A and B are shown apart, each in its own frame.
Chain A
């Protein structure tokens, strides 16, 4: 568990095939649950999720810099089901509307000047999305 392997998992759903229904994505993108410890790393990594750019939460407060563009994520596991969290991560616009500033992390864009090295790729891999969801599920209100 938790090791990111280069070989594509047969069960992995590609970004263009994810079905968002009623602001939820029911099934795991990889077919298996993610690793919350890995997820917390992607959450703060500037290169990957960089969620801390916009969100703070008690657990990550040891990090010197976090943003306040989005709401703090404490208790987010009580507010949203796993499927809802997955939809938010895959494509925040499907939940918050087309105007939201929160990027979709499992989407691929054409024709909007995506830098070459990122073309055809989502911000996070399916495994990383599942890891972040596993991490978010630990953020419960005490």
Chain B
């Protein structure tokens, strides 16, 4: 499977300011900035900003050029894995899903989704592993393994530009409420909640870091600090570490609920994976 890369022709000097330069890739009609107005009922924010907005012009430029964006190494590995036959069923992802550019154009923007058989939501990593174990007869990939990160990056990249939209009604509601609760609960020795940093002070600096709204539309993201791509749950864990709290496990129900709620807070933002971060 070929990975289609794009490069922005002119990098806008206004990138650091409030006026947004466009994305390198095509966005659906009506979505043309990294800032959207919150439309969801009872949304705590008026304006929603992608994390891209808060990064330095250099980091922003790296993300905008698919040839320079180091995250594409993972996207490319994912493209290879998409066509790699594995497991007792002797199938690849492509055997069922064919051309990912068509079949995965929205899935990456709509996770977590309700899974009737399991009676709980599943996020992208979990869905990939469900397909491996249930449909391919293959071993699930470990969380944060290079394979799972690559496949997540690849699938999410197919949904790039699609506005985030998650279901929170019906059986999802208790998960949503739990995520909201976790978001607002102070934890750790420093006694801070997600909301304290990402709602109260976005745009301001906490030591060397400029706080964003803690949106999820760029994940998995390539972090310059790690020289590696990382999952959303790894980021959650990092934020809990910072406040000296015992983090939940990656892939846990708690982080799944938090993911659902965080994605809802970013409803309408276009998927940007793989984003580049400091």
Which A residues have a C-beta under 8 Å from some C-beta of B?
A: 46, 50, 52-54, 64-69, 101, 103-104, 107, 109, 112-116, 118, 121, 123
Contacts and interface: CB of A to CB of B under 8 A. Distances in A.
A118 B185 CA distance: 19
Given A114-B244, A118-B244, A109 B208 contact: no
Contact of B188 (A46, A68, A107, A112): A112
B16 interface: no
22 contacts: A46-B207, A50-B207, A52-B207, A65-B205, A65-B207, A66-B205, A66-B207, A67-B205, A67-B207, A68-B204, A69-B205, A101-B196, A101-B197, A101-B201, A103-B192, A109-B191, A114-B188, A114-B189, A114-B246, A115-B245, A118-B189, A118-B244
A39 B181 CA distance: 37
A118 B190 CA distance: 10
Is the contact region of chain B dominated by helix, strand, or loop, or is it mixed?
A: loop
A16 to B, nearest CB: 15
B205 A101 contact: no
A132 to B, nearest CB: 16
Interface residues of B, number: 23
B14 to A, nearest CB: 22
A53 B244 CA distance: 15
Contacts of B208: 64-65
B87 interface: no
Given A67-B206, A69-B204, 17 more contacts: A66-B207, A67-B204, A67-B207, A68-B204, A101-B197, A103-B189, A103-B191, A109-B188, A112-B188, A113-B246, A114-B245, A114-B246, A115-B244, A116-B246, A118-B188, A118-B189, A123-B190
| Ranked 3 nearest A-B pairs via Cβ | A65-B208, A118-B189, A53-B207
Interface in B74-112: none
Contact of B192 (A101, A115, A118): A101
Contacts of A121: 189
Counting chain B CB atoms within 10 Å of each CB, which of A65, A66, A115 scores highest?
A115
Contact of A69 (B188, B201, B245): B201
B207 A112 contact: no
Contacts of A112: 185-188, 191, 245
Contacts of B205: 65-69
A131 B126 CA distance: 50
Contacts of A46: 207
